[in-house]
Structure 1
Amino acid sequence: MGSFLLFEKNGPVVTLTMNQPELRNVLTGNSAVEDFVDACSRIACDPTVRAVILTAAGTVFCAGGNLKDMRRYSEEKVDPITISDEYRRGIQRLTLALYNLEVPVIAAVNGGAIGAGCDLACMCDIRIAASSAYFAESFVKVGIVPGDGGAWLLPRVVGQSWAAEMSFTGDPISAQEALDCGLVSRVVPGEELLEVANKLVQRIVSNPGPALRMTKRLLREGQHMRLESLLELSATYQALAHKTSEHEEAVAAFLEKRHRA
């Protein structure tokens, strides 16, 4: 991988670690986008991967966009069309790559998740926070809007009211407040964060890989599909699941244990 993102595979689990703590793990003005896109492509092409943990080095999870890099838009008088194209070819590619991963993704948020860093956590399926972590949908504080899809992502995680409050004020919320609004599913001491994330991921990857991927796909599609359409897709996926060797082995093991009991 590139200099920003470390890629480590241990059995069916991939751990991605943002590794520019000196720059607060910002996502622009560096190789972050390409690294994430490449990592997601690598994971998508590897059927042995069943889950991903995303975390960061240092005391900040991700500070979002690089404000120093953004200044060139005004200093160099970059035209609006060019800026729009840079967002489409840049950070928005990261959003699509990470959000559309077929395997479950756990964000282990070790510190501040600010702006696009907050949205990065929302691109994942499960969020666990260190007690020192905080979250801020802070774009409005610097006079911009979420250019990475945050206005679509955040309400689907915390609901419209919390998303509006976070987006309109730009104020940070603590790990405990994030737990209260459903932004994270648990808060743990910082020194236990990766241990808890790894224990959870092991519970996930103990399940059949094909079923995990299809279940995630159904959860994603269920966010915007009609019930009737989702039921039809579920029936199709179920037919595929019934024909996997993993399903046959799991049923046989279950029945054998019940028979022995």
Structure 2
Amino acid sequence: MSQDGPSAHMSSMPSSLTATEPTNLAICDCTKASHEHGTRDMYGYHKCRCIPCGTANREYYRSTAHLTRTRKWADAELARKRIFQLREAGLTMEAMADLSTVNIANLHYILRGPGGRTVKRVLTSTLDALNAISYKDIAGWELTGDTRVDGTVPRLQTMALQAAGWCPEDLSELSGVGRQTFNKLLRGFGTTEEMRRRIDSLYTGLRRTAPPQDTPLQQMRVRRALRKAEANGWTVDMADDAEHARAA
């Protein structure tokens, strides 16, 4: 075979469901999987469907099934309530992840679920880790300027300011926050506590104010900001009801 890559290997692999004996393989020198029939590598990577390889694959899942059965599960609603309690106590999602050692992606998954569907259960260890966060932990958790925080509120504030006509260049110049930071926020990323404070201060000073339009450049920037806001459905009051944990 002169072709390279896994597709070349797979295209010539045996795939008969009724083959009871190992069949000849095409020449394959890849190092990603075993070439021996009757193994899970042959079934999974090389897509061999002869009976010996199929048997090896079934035996693998039978031998590891107990790992899934022995997991202990808890009601996900209890985990959601605990997350809301911790947020009301002043912890960000990032802080919860740090204090509980639960991956932040798992915390967001518990709240939102796949495709907006409600998650029904979580691992008991996840719920235990969230419940283990004490008020002493909350009081002792220090929010520094470099601490990563949720970007929802500064994102809404940025959108609201652009809906009022303030362009990214103006926001960056007035706040000292780089345009890349604003761009990342609008794409759904988080930010740091220092950047959150700066954007909050900027929003407090500029909310519901009109940007200057004394020069053609300023007028062009305002039109561009308004077009972007209109295209995305942003409004000047969209950040008013956002939950915002201010630094003490």
- Normalising by structure 1, what TM-score? 0.21
Q: Highest CA radius of gyration, 1 or 2?
A: 2
